[in-house]
């Protein structure tokens, strides 16, 4: 495989995925904002370090959300915040605890809502 063919395949992947789309104000935006509230409650009432980490991640999600209305880099950053929260809840929280259940399902919903839409060709 030559360098040019590798470069062409990488560029082809980029055109299929497309550029990240800005978050549109509306029902989805409101749902994305409301997703951070249960995570913030777990973070504020947390006893362990892993539980209290979800509070700043919820604050980061809420602070990036209005920026994602105008900047494309913030839509990508929302993916990383949701993935970080999901990985912390999977690996650091005790299974079947209330903090795990709230953080897991909420961060999964946050990740699904932050995924970019596929461009139709």
Per-residue pLDDT reduced to its tens digit, 63-111? 999 998 898 888 889 989 999 999 999 999 888 888 899 999 999 998 8
**Residue at 80 is within a domain:** yes
Q: Do 107 and 85 form a contact (C-beta atoms < 8 A)?
A: yes
Count of domains observed in the chain: 1
35 occurs within a structural domain = yes
Q: Is residue 16 a part of any domain in this protein?
A: no
The residue range of the domain holding 109 is 21-114
The model's confidence at residue 19, banded by pLDDT at 50, 70 and 90, is low
Does residue 1 lie within any of the structural domains?
no
* Residue 59 to residues 6, 16, 65, 81, 93, Cα–Cα distance (Å): 40, 32, 10, 10, 19
pLDDT at 22 (0 to 100): 81
Domain assignment of residue 69, yes or no:
yes
Show the tokens assigned to 73: 């880099």
pLDDT score of 46: 85
The span from the CA of 62 to the CA of 49, in Å, is: 21
Is residue 119 a part of any domain in this protein?
A: no
Instruction: Flag whether 63 is in a domain.
Output: yes
pTM (two decimals): 0.77
Task: Tell me whether residue 6 is in a domain.
Answer: no
């Amino acid at each position: 495989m030559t360098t040019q063919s590798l470069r062409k395949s990488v560029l082809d992947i980029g055109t299929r995925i497309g550029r990240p789309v800005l978050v549109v104000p509306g029902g989805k935006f409101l749902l994305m904002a409301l997703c951070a509230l249960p995570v913030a409650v777990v973070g504020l009432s947390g006893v362990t370090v892993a539980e209290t980490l979800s509070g700043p991640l919820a604050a980061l999600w809420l602070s990036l959300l209005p920026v994602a209305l105008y900047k494309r880099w913030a839509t990508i950053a929302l993916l990383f915040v949701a993935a970080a929260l999901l990985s912390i809840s999977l690996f650091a929280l005790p299974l079947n605890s209330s903090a795990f259940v709230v953080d897991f399902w909420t961060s999964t919903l946050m990740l699904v809502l932050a995924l970019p839409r596929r461009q139709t060709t």
